[in-house]
Amino acid sequence: MNPVYEQMGETGLRELVAAFYRRVKEDDLLGPMYPESDWQGAEERLSDFLVYRFGGSQKYIEERGHPRLRMRHMPFRIGEAERDRWLQLMGEAMAERAIAEPAAGLLKDFFVQTADFMRNQEE
């Protein structure tokens, strides 16, 4: 089993995502990227993805197929500022949830790599 999922389980990952989206809703840079009517859907999709990615339920794949993260994020302008804010807010959410090692380091590494991969704007 993946150490992140073993340590946090599905509930812990979902609580992390909820803490993250509480911040995103209030954020002046990332908040406007989300349709007002789809906050719950966005939170569920990220939760399902992280649960799947770290060894839990296959619900994300069963409902959405291959993640294709870069393609799914192409409609949004994602440059360094957006990447950095995403990482900041997720870092704050991780601190709020007091995620301990080894999950904290593994999640941080994954988030940094993935957030940078999502960039679609040259600076």
Q: What is the pLDDT of residues 51-97, one digit of tens each?
A: 999 999 999 888 777 777 666 766 778 899 999 999 999 999 999 99
Q: What is the mean pLDDT of residues 99-109?
A: 97
On the question of pLDDT at 11 being above 80, the answer is yes
Determine what percent of the chain is predicted with pLDDT higher than 90. 72
Percentage with pLDDT > 70 across the chain: 95
pTM above 0.85, yes or no: yes
* Cα gap 107→51, rounded to integer Å: 12
Return the structure tokens found at 33.
């990227």
- Please state, in angstroms and rounded to a whole number, the distance separating the CA atoms of residues 81 and 43: 21
pLDDT at position 24 over 70: yes
Q: Which domains does the chain have, with CATH numbers?
A: 7-118 (1.10.490.10)
The alpha carbon of 67 is separated from its chain's Cα centroid by a whole number of angstroms, namely: 12
**What pLDDT score does 17 carry?**
98
Secondary structure percentages of the chain, helix, strand, coil, to 5: 70, 0, 30
Q: In three state form, how does the secondary structure of 70-115 look?
A: HHHHCCCCCCHHHHHHHHHHHHHHHHHCCCCCCHHHHHHHHHHHHH
**Would you say residue 29 has pLDDT above 90?**
yes
Arithmetic mean of pLDDT over the chain:
91
